[in-house]
Structure 1
Amino acid sequence: MISATGLELRAGSRILLSEATLRVQPGDRIGLVGRNGAGKTTTLRVLAGEGQPYAGEVLRRGELGYLPQDPREGDLSVTAKDRVLSARGLDQLLRDMEKAQSEMAELADDRQRDKAVARYGRLEERFAARGGYAAESEAGRICSNLGLADRVLSQPLRTLSGGQRRRVELARILFAASEAGPGGRSATTLLLDEPTNHLDADSINWLRDFLKAHDGGLVVISHDVDLLAAVVNKVWFLDAIRGEADVYNMDWKRYQEARAADEKRRRRERANAEKKASALMAQADKMRAKATKAVAAQNMARRAEKLVAGLDAEQAQEKVAKIRFPDPAPCGRTPLTADGLSKSYGSLEIFTGVDLAVDRGSKVVVLGLNGAGKTTLLRLLGGMEKPDSGAIVPGHGLRLGYYAQEHETLDHDASVWENVRSAAPDTPEQQLRTLLGAFLFSGEQLQQPAGTLSGGEKTRLALAGLVSSAANVLLLDEPTNNLDPASREQVLDALRSFTGAVVLVTHDPGAVEALQPERVILLPDGTEDHWSADYLELVQLA
């Protein structure tokens, strides 16, 4: 259970939330919604105890499972399987049991062997008390449903992509939450920030069913409307204009109806108040002409001002980032070539012998199952990693722009302004400020550290850096993740109109349709084929 009272959240001097009261009880499945930058991620971090409120108090009881947008750095030497099992302490128990088994088989001294047998027995009792092999099997089922194959689970976390590590963390949280507490109910409150990122369609469907059946608390941020409609029974709407949280104790469909009615009511009240205030001011102006009525006129004017000031600010139309990729810099016929690329992480072979020629203005989509190496290929092409064999050959005039799904191209310690300035050091300052304004960054937010931005804001900042670079080859890894519907449409429009070359990795069929690719690369085999609509159904499965 979580209870927040008098909650005030800020981003710099900007008030995100003021005097809010928020409660999460067992059985609550809450959708946390609002436009990008409204404070959803900040709110979830504070509820999880990983951020401090500017004012107010947050009380927590029971277990918490928090999934942030960006994967946490921890001990990357442990295997993915052990990371999941650690949610219930089973990883260490299994290692201790394996050690005791070895001692039982190897020790020649009867007394020492008997101690090992007794130790094994105690460990086995503790293992059974925590669910035993049935719990281990349950963890395996959760991982499988999230698209984590056995070969991935056996690998150290450091060998996995950011998306795979995030799915491991989600599996760990869900495994912990599936453990029954007193009365057979889960005692875990789940705080999930965009949990469907990096999941294929089957995994998303399974996750919906899991969350719908979860009887602990849940607060979820998601742009997946189908998930919200299927799961939530309450909605918190963060109003970025008023800096308030509107609480709706109802399911998603009724919330949408109630929200539309509330906004219509506010507009009507505002119009009526402005009409009455205008009449009062007009009457006050007439009365000021007579000295005997000056005081009455002044009082009437004050009433008019108070009437308007006492109402909610008019709901401003939400601004949308104006994302347009500029004309690409001139380049040769084939600005980027990859010859015989191979990459492995330890004993795990990702792909081998991949060839790719990116011609001027060409559009290529990369498909493959999760873990097939799509992100790895883009990181190799972008120079973020080195291939084990093969070579990247830059062509005449190549200017690369790389969008990374985990925003690792951003300097999280640097400000918004410093990030864009470093991406385009020769661009005039006013031109960069205009560009940032088009991406909804202005005023004090230009000095805000990039690491404190929401996921959607980081996406906009990374895209602003791409736009400022005038790249002729764009490497885009899940560019529509974390974006609200309006911003996503802007990205899709930018893809449709961009005349340079694009290599795209995405689970978003709309992004592929906007790109209108000519070719597809299928990983891990590296097979190249002409694009056809038959491949579209593989996008969400990939």
Structure 2
Amino acid sequence: MITVSNLEVRVGARQLLAPASFRVGAGDKVGLVGRNGAGKTTLTKILAGEGLPASGSVSSSGEIGYLPQDPRTGDLDVLARDRILSARGLDEVVRRLRSAEKSMASADEKTRAKGMRRYERAEADLHAAGGYAAESEAARIAANLGLPDRVLGQPLSTLSGGQRRRVELARILFAQAETLLLDEPTNHLDADSIVWLRDFLKAYSGGVIMISHDVNLLEETVTRVFHLDANRAEIDIYNVGWKAYLSQRETDERRRKRERANAEKKASQLVDQANKMRAKATKATAAQQMLKRAEKLMASLEDERASDRVAKIAFPTPAPCGKTPLMARELSKSYGSLEIFTDVDLAIDRGSRVVVLGLNGAGKTTLLRVLSGIEKSDTGEVIDGHGLKLGYYAQEHETLDVNRTVLENMKSAAPDLNETQARSVLGSFLFTGDDADKPARVLSGGEKTRLALATLVVSAANVLLLDEPTNNLDPASRAEVLNAIRSYAGAIVLVTHDEGAVEALEPERVLLLPDGVEDLWTNDYADLVSLA
């Protein structure tokens, strides 16, 4: 259970949440919604104990399981399986069992006997912590999130960013915490895993507070909705499910508009009548009373609610280039003994549209990193064509320097921009005033997405490498990105789970990983997008 009392949230001088109080108990499934930048991620960090409020308090009973947008996986040399088991302290027990098993296989009798004793103690501790059933449960959760035994036996350092995030989600779900705080839990999940997660959360006996732009997930799971209004810095609490919330919110908005219109009309009539009566000395007192009634009537109304602003996104006019600005020949990549992809050949012609498909872990993100020059392939080469100007959108926002400000990141992406021009572009991406001077590390996932997209807009790139560009975006911002993809005149290589993004791209070709098979796009491939 989480109890919040008079909690105020600020970032610098900006108030994200005026003092608010609420409680989330066992069985509550809360959808925390609001536009990008409203403060949802900041609030969730405070609820998890990883941030401090400006005022007020947060108290909780029982353990909290927190999945941030950018999960920290700790030691990357740890096996994925052990990272999940660590949620219940089982990782250390399992390591002791493995060590004892090695000793038991020794040719030395004393070493074998010592190993047997250590094994018995470790096995007793394992049973006390839930035994082999707990190990099986962890493996089952992982498998349903697209992490088979093969992946669980690998060090975290060999996994893709999406796989590491799914390891963290599996760890949180395995922990059996009393309250779950989940920030965009469906990122990097395929369609089957999302369906499984819905059922898991519906059946979960503890409380859940979830930030998500997955409408189907919200419809299926939430029993309460907390809407964080960025314009008013207030939380509107609806103790109903998702569909009822949408209906109630629309009804409330119509009622507010109707009440305001009626009050304004009545106040106007009172003012008009008072102005007429003031001309006569005998009616001056009555006129003054009418004016006070009009003021009181208008003061009783809440401020008119402003509509949420949306970033205006349009990708750049591409710089001139040759017929084939980017080529790759015989690319392969491995991490240790794990082969990611082999013999990938690719030719990106001017204005071409290519979508990269493959199961999670097939190397889609790695391929874009190789094409962008951030990572080196083991074999083959990437060839820059005449006039190539590359723009890379990384799903983990690695292209942003988190130690620099929003403005500094922008000027680094386009050195020719002066400060006024840079601030103007940032303003169209909803970074206004002091927002431009914030360090990138304090931005939410949605804000980082907007900043990364803003750096692309000023890049004059003629080839865009886009890795999950619609993750973390509210519906209005997602629609802007889809329109930008649709209208961009340059070449795009796209990695996405978003079927709408592929529709907007209208791809000519598809590259299938890990085998590197290239084919002309047909609608037969559309069913693979959400599975990729």
- Mapped to 2, the partners of 1:117 and 1:437 lie a distance apart of 67
Work out which of the residue numbers 480, 484, 507 in structure 2 matches 1:517. Answer: 507
Choose 449-458 or 367-376, whichever is displaced more.
449-458
Distance in 2 (CA, whole Å) between partners of 1:473 and 1:425 is 19
CA displacement at 1:285 relative to structure 2:
4.1
1:2 maps onto 2:2 in alignment: yes
Three-state SS of the structure 1 residue aligned to 2:511 is: strand
Q: CA deviation at 1:252?
A: 1.5
Match of 2:450 among 460, 463, 468: 460
Name the CA distance, whole Å, in 2 between partners of 1:271 and 1:444.
Answer: 35
In 1: Cα distance, 2:444 partner to 2:290 partner:
45
1:312 aligns with 2:311: no
Is the CA contact 2:103–2:114 (under 8 Å) kept in the aligned structure 1?
no
Pick closer, same or farther for the CA change 1:291–1:228 going to 2, 3 Å: same
Whether 1:219 aligns to 2:209 is yes
Quote how far apart the aligned CAs of 1:92 are: 1.0
Residue 264 of structure 2 is aligned with which of 274, 286, 302? 274
Contact 2:73 2:164 in 1 (8 A): no
What amino acid is the match of 1:129? Answer: A
- Of 469, 480, 484, 1:490 maps to 480
Question: Which residue number in structure 1 is paired with residue 35 of structure 2?
Answer: 35
Q: CA separation of 1:286/1:30 partners in 2, compared to 1, >3 Å: closer, same or farther?
A: same
Give the equivalent residue in structure 2 for 1:88. Answer: 88
How far is the alpha carbon of 1:262 from its aligned partner?
Answer: 1.3
Pair 1:421-2:411 in alignment: yes
Equivalent position of 1:117 in the other structure: 116
Q: Offset at 1:275?
A: 2.1
- Identify the range of structure 1 (188-197 vs 274-283) with the bigger mean alpha-carbon deviation: 274-283
- Residue 222 of structure 1: CA displacement? 0.7
Q: CA deviation at 1:279?
A: 2.9
Give the C-alpha shift of residue 241 in structure 1.
2.1
Q: Spell out, residue by residue over 1:393-414, the C-alpha distance to the aligned partner (whole angstroms, 9 max, x if none).
A: 1111111110011111112222
**Which residue of the other structure, out of 433, 442, 453, is the alignment partner of 1:443?**
433
Instruction: Give the AA of the match of 1:475.
Output: L
Unmatched 5+ stretches in structure 1: 178-186
Shift of 1:116: 4.0
* Partner amino acid, structure 1, of 2:10: R
Of residues 82-91 and 146-155 in structure 1, the stretch that sits farther from structure 2 once superposed is 146-155
Alignment of 1:134-173 (within 5 A): 134-173=133-172
Q: Structure 2 length normalisation: TM-score?
A: 0.96
Picking from 373, 381, 387, the partner of 1:397 is: 387
Determine which of 371, 374, 383 is the counterpart of 1:381.
371
Q: How does 1:49-448 map to 2 (within 5 A)?
A: 49-106=49-106, 108=108, 114-177=113-176, 187-286=177-276, 300-301=290-291, 303-448=293-438
Q: Report how far residue 209 of structure 1 moved.
A: 0.4
SS at match of 1:236: strand
SS across alignment from 1:414:
coil
Q: Tell me which amino acid in the other structure corresponds to 1:4.
A: V
Secondary structure at 1:219's aligned position in 2? strand
- Could you tell me how far 1:244 is from its partner in structure 2? 1.1
Q: Which amino acid aligns with 1:472?
A: N
In structure 1, distance between residues paired with 2:188 and 2:437: 31
Percent of aligned positions with the same letter in both sequences?
68
- Which of the numbers 497, 500, 504 marks the counterpart of 2:490? 500
Q: Which letter maps to 1:343?
A: K
Instruction: State the 1:273 CA deviation.
Output: 2.3
- Contact 1:241 1:313 survives alignment (8 Å): no
Aligned residues: 532
Retained in 2: the 8 A contact 1:496–1:515? yes
Q: What's the CA shift for 1:260?
A: 1.3
Deviations 1:476-527 (A, max 9, x none): 0000111111111111111111110000000011101110111111000111
8 Å CA contact 1:12, 1:445 repeated in 2: no
Give 1:374 shift.
Answer: 0.2
Query: What displacement does 1:300 show?
Result: 5.0
SS at 1:281 equivalent: helix
1:443-495 CA deviation, whole Å, 9 max, x = no partner?
22122222222221211111111001111000000001111111111111111
Q: Is the 8 A contact 2:371 2:382 kept in 1?
A: yes
SS in 1 for 2:391: strand
Distance 1:524 1:313 in 2: 56
Can you list the C-alpha shifts for 1:250-305, whole angstroms capped at 9, x where unaligned?
A: 11122122111111111122222222333333344445556777777666545544
Residue aligned with 1:17, SS? strand
User: What one-letter code is carried by the residue in structure 1 that aligns with 2:67?
Assistant: L
| Aligned-partner Cα distance in 2 for 1:108–1:411 | 55
3-state SS, counterpart of residue 247 of structure 2: helix
Instruction: Provide the rounded CA distance (Å) in 1 between the counterparts of 2:291 and 2:151.
Output: 71
Deviation at 1:141, TM superposition (A): 1.1
Q: Cα distance 1:73–1:103, how it changes in 2: closer, same or farther (>3 A)?
A: closer
Deviation at 1:306, TM superposition (A): 4.5
Cα displacement string for residues 323-354 of structure 1 (whole angstroms, at most 9, x for unaligned residues): 11131010111111111111111111111211
CA-CA distance at 1:317 after TM superposition? 2.1
Deviates more, 1:309-318 or 1:325-334: 309-318
8 Å Cα contact 1:267/1:315 also seen in 2: no
| Partner Cα distance (2:90, 2:215) in 1 | 36
Is the CA contact 1:339–1:353 (under 8 Å) kept in the aligned structure 2? yes
User: In 2, Cα distance between the equivalents of 1:320 and 1:245?
Assistant: 20
SS of match in other structure, 1:469: coil
Structure 1 residues 237 and 428: CA distance shift in structure 2, 3 A: same
RMSD of aligned alpha carbons: 1.9
The 1:73/1:303 distance shift into structure 2, 3 A limit, reads farther
Cα shift at 1:358:
0.6
Aligned residue type for 1:193:
D
CA-to-aligned-CA distance 1:389-437 (integer Å, 9 cap, x gap):
2111111111111001111111222222221111111024333333222
Q: Distance in 2 between matches of 1:295 and 1:420?
A: 61
Kept in 1: contact 2:231–2:308 (CA 8 A)? no
User: Secondary structure in 1 aligned to 2:74?
Assistant: coil
Q: Are residues 302 and 436 of structure 1, via their aligned partners in 2, closer, same or farther at CA, if it must alter by over 3 Å?
A: farther
